[in-house]
Each structure stands twice: as C-alpha cells, then as structure tokens.
Amino acid sequence: MAITHRPIAQRALPMAADLYGDIEPSPKTTWRGYLPGLSIVLLGTLAAGFISDHYGAPLTLMALLIGLSLNFLSADVRLTPGLAFASRSLLRWGIVLVGVRITVWQIYALGPVALLAVVGIVVCTMGAGVLIGRRMGFDAAFGTLAGGAVAICGASAAMALATTLGERRASQAQLTLVLVGISAMSATAMVLYPLVAHAFGLSDLKAGFLLGASIHDVAQALGAGYSYSKNAGEIAAIVKLTRVALLAPALAVVAVFLPRGSGDAKRPGIPWFVVGFFVLAGVNSFGIIPAIVASGAERAATGLLAAAVTATAVRSPLSQLLEAGPRPLLVILAATLVAFALALLAAVYLVG
C-alpha cells in the first residue's frame, strides 16, 4: 500500500531518542549555538527539581510534564543544537553513570527466566507487527519496521531496520510515520504505564521489569522507572538496555529473512553506552568505587537523565501525528499493546 507523505529529509522531524546518531546529523555549530537549547533544558530541569524537592513529586515525571508544556518551542531552530545535545549525549552519559547504582547481583537476581522473557517479548512484538501490518494491507517490511521499533529501542531501531531493509522495501514516508508514532506513543507510555503498575500493586522488581520491557525509547523507560521508585528505575535500566543489545541480532535475522532493497545497511553493534553501563556495574559490584565518588555519580546520573527527559519531551513531534493517516499508526499502536500485555503478564507471573 502506498503512503504518500513527503520524505523525511523534507520534513525536519525533531527526533528525541536518536541513540546511534544516525537519524539526524549532529547540528554543526559553535559552543554558543548550544546555549539557547541547553538553557531551556536547564531551566525546565531546575523547575522539575524544585517541584520534586518541595512537593515530593517524582523528578523525571515532572521533567516530562514540563518538557511537554514547552513542546511548542521545538519549532524554533535556534534551540535545535542544544536540545539535540541534551536528548542524545546527556542521555548516553546518564545511562553510563546509572551503572554506579547497579551491581551484577541485581542483574543475577532477575534470573534467566526474566531475561528469556525479554527475548520472547521482543520476538513476539516484532512478529505481531508483521502479522497485524499484513492484515491491514501493508507488506512484511512495514510490519517489521513498526514492530521492531516498538520491540527494541524506538526511533533508533526504526532507522537501523529501515537501512537494513533498504529504500525499496521501507520507504522514507513509511519511516517518517513510524518515527512520529513511536516518539508520541513512547512519551504517552511513560506517563500511563507507571499508573498501571501502581494500579496492579506491583513490587519494584515487577514494575521495573514491566516498564523496561514495554516502553519504546530508553529515556522514557528509565524516566518511568525512576518515577515509580529508585529500585524500579534500576531494574528498568537493566531490562531496557538488554532490549537495546538485541538490536544487532535482530538486524541479522531481518537481513536473512527479508531481501534487501537499495542502499547500504548500517549494522550497529552493541552501543558504547550499553557496554559502559554494564562495565561500570561490574566495577561497582566489587565495592572499589569510593562512596563519595559513587554518590556524586548518582547525583550526576539523576540530573543528566532528568535533563534528557526534558529535552526529549520538548522535541517530541506530538503535533505531527495529526498529519498522518490513522492506519499506519494503528499498526504501531497494536504492536505497542502487544508488548505491554506480554510485559505485564511476564512481570506478574514470571518475575520475582
């Protein structure tokens, strides 16, 4: 089915979760060019911190809501370099520093069943995207693109899958719709999923697994986890980064079963920030990090992640959903619901 939307290059989409740096190029600017966007992020994050400190509200949730209230500012191109830096680079370093809060014993505590459940959720969500897409008149490539973006790591997975499939199999118009839908639904999930976890009375372990296994983008998954509790945030980080690490084998499987189109495929391995996260967690497990250093790193991680969430919310292209037809977005929504349902079942019956 043809989707007649303009190519992504003509639409200046503000993408927030570009972890691999391949969705949009880093803006070329001097250090002064970063100041307007970073100033907005700093003010929004400080406001979120003030509300959190004085009223006991979760920091990351406040950062999200304040960022969404400033979403109209994303139209100002002067803010783009600073917002891009905050939502990409600060997020990556924040993820690495979260490793100071983690030990290998926490990872071990998840157990092989939970880790196998993560793999099963990823596989089933991608499969659901293909099946639902075909039922709605799309080909397997679009279903793979939508399902894989939901299953693994949002917008970055969408771009990696699109380059693997090639332009003839996954058009730029289809990629645009997936990127817009993923960004909006991931931001929505960050707000709604913790409420569902509270409604079910899930423990920190179960809630962290649910949020890490079901939310699309890394920033939102960690933000939702830490808005639930510190322990839930740590578990969500482990589970979510496990999903990110599955991108490389997923690309290999797609390359085998779906013929490539035109264009060369970029095949990213495990991102450096995922490696850094687990390395730092391993070092922390031996207790050799001084307490004052660990405390400072924890505070830095909290601040960096809150800043990344603020920038992510500001840049989320929520208004552009109105321009897209409903049918392609329904495929993304259906895959999102499948991932959430499977993650919830696994959290309730398999984890802990």
* pLDDT tens, the chain, 352 aa long: 444 444 433 444 444 445 545 445 555 667 788 898 899 999 999 999 898 888 877 676 688 788 878 888 877 888 888 888 887 788 778 878 877 877 777 777 778 898 899 999 999 999 999 999 999 888 888 899 999 999 987 776 786 787 677 767 776 667 767 877 787 788 789 889 999 999 999 999 999 999 999 998 877 898 899 889 989 998 998 898 888 878 778 877 887 777 555 444 445 556 677 778 788 888 888 888 888 888 888 788 888 878 887 887 787 665 655 555 577 788 999 999 999 999 999 999 988 7
Inside any domain, residue 8: no
Beta carbons of 126 and 144 less than 8 angstroms apart: yes
* 170 is a domain residue: yes
Residue 135: both structure tokens together? 């039922």
Residue 13 lies in a domain: no
SS3 sequence of 180-239? HHHHHHHHHHHHHHHHHHHHCCCCHHHHHHHHHHHCCCHHHHHHHHHHHCHHHHHHHHHH
- H helix count then E strand count, the chain: 15, 0
5 falls within a domain: no
pLDDT at 137: 84
Question: In this structure, what is the dihedral angle of CA atoms 219, 221, 223, 224, given to the nearest 10 degrees?
Answer: 160
Burial of 196 (0-12, 13-18, 19+ CB in 10 A): middle
Residue 217 domain boundaries: 31-349
Structural contact between residues 171 and 188, judged by C-beta atoms closer than 8 angstroms: no
- The reported pLDDT for the residue numbered 265 is 47
- Rg of the chain in Å (alpha carbons): 19
Q: How far apart are CA 217 and CA 231, in angstroms?
A: 19
10 belongs to a structural domain: no
Task: Report yes or no on 65 lying in a domain.
Answer: yes
Alpha-carbon distance of 218 to 16, in angstroms, equals 10
User: For residue 24, is it within any domain?
Assistant: no
Tell me how many domains the chain contains.
Answer: 1
Q: What is the pLDDT of residue 76?
A: 83
Look at residue 22 and tell me if it is in a domain: no
Which of 180, 201, 191, 216 shows the shortest CA–CA distance to 325? 180
Q: What is the pLDDT of residue 201?
A: 94
